[in-house]
């Protein structure tokens, strides 16, 4: 059993390296077998095709993704809003340090959007739908969300987050903001852009705005009119 697990890990690690270097489309199962030092037949024994392999990789990505949430939730002495700020930092670092895993997570969210509707479900590659790892993902993909909702609920309970907010909607919104933040890091960091936003100020500025929204400290107001006299 341990030997089988080691071979599966070796295949997955090889796939991650090749997907990082060459991309999914350019990588063949034969390339993965060669890099892993395992026969092509044995590779197909563990994974039926490249799509099945990618779904297995995505399952591993979600396992690691979930662990990022768990680590934040286990932190001691922090209120809900502090945990969400820590989570934002962790997820941004996850995207930088594990780009293939992070893109696999985002790709699965796109596939799931199609899967939710009978008509668009037909657009999904049948090899993906046939993967046992895809069906495992359907069972576990909500687990990080549940942990994030706990953070929001904790914040409402400890007073660091506005009490009128609904935890599920709030966390989905926060997660959408974090995904958007990571995607906009490219335009913000592009040297030739006309809009002047310092990359160094982008993350702390985003974090502050997110916290202000959750606390309810953003207020629209007109500047006070100050009457002065020259005499």
Average pLDDT, the chain: 88
Q: Class of the 1-47 domain? A: mainly alpha
For range 193-219, the mean pLDDT: 82
* pTM of the predicted structure, to 2 decimals: 0.84
For range 7-15, the mean pLDDT: 91
Percentage helix, strand, coil, to 5, in the chain? 75, 0, 25
Q: What are 187's two structure tokens?
A: 């335009």
Range of weakest confidence among 13-17, 38-42, 144-148, 191-195: 191-195
What is the third-level CATH fold of 49-190+198-215? Tetracycline Repressor; domain 2 (1.10.357)
Q: Give 160-193 pLDDT, tens digit per residue.
A: 999 999 999 999 999 999 999 988 888 877 766 6
**In the chain, which residues fall in CATH 1.10.10.60?**
1-47
Q: Quote the pLDDT of residue 5.
A: 65
Q: Which residues contact 212 (CB under 8 A, 6 or more apart)?
A: 218
For range 38-52, the mean pLDDT: 93
**In the chain, which residues fall in CATH 1.10.357.10?**
49-190+198-215
How many angstroms separate the Cα of 143 from the Cα of each of 76, 97, 192?
A: 21, 22, 40
Contact 177, 98 (CB under 8 A): no
For range 128-151, the mean pLDDT: 95
Residue 48's closest CA among 136, 139, 128, 135?
128
Q: Give 98-116 pLDDT, tens digit per residue.
A: 999 999 999 999 999 999 9
């Amino acid at each position: 059993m341990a030997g089988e697990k080691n071979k599966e890990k070796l295949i997955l690690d090889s796939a991650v390296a090749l997907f990082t270097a060459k991309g999914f489309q350019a990588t063949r199962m034969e390339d993965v077998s060669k890099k892993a030092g395992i026969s092509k037949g044995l590779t197909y024994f563990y994974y039926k095709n490249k799509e099945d392999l990618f779904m297995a990789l995505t399952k591993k990505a979600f396992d690691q993704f979930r662990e990022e949430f768990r680590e934040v939730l286990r932190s001691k002495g922090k209120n809900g809003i502090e945990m969400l700020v820590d989570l934002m930092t962790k997820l941004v670092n996850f995207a930088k340090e594990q780009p293939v895993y992070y893109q696999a997570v985002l790709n699965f969210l796109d596939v799931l959007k199609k899967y939710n509707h009978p008509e668009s479900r037909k657009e999904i590659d049948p090899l993906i739908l046939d993967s046992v790892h895809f069906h495992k993902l359907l069972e576990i993909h909500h687990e990080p969300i549940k942990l994030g909702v706990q953070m929001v609920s904790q914040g409402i309970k400890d007073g660091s987050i506005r009490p009128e907010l609904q935890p599920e909607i709030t966390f989905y919104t926060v997660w959408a903001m974090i995904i958007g933040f990571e995607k906009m890091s490219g335009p913000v960091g592009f040297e030739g852009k006309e809009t002047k936003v310092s990359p160094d100020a982008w993350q702390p500025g985003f974090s502050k705005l997110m916290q202000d929204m959750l606390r309810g400290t953003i207020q629209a107001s007109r500047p006070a009119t100050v009457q002065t006299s020259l005499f």
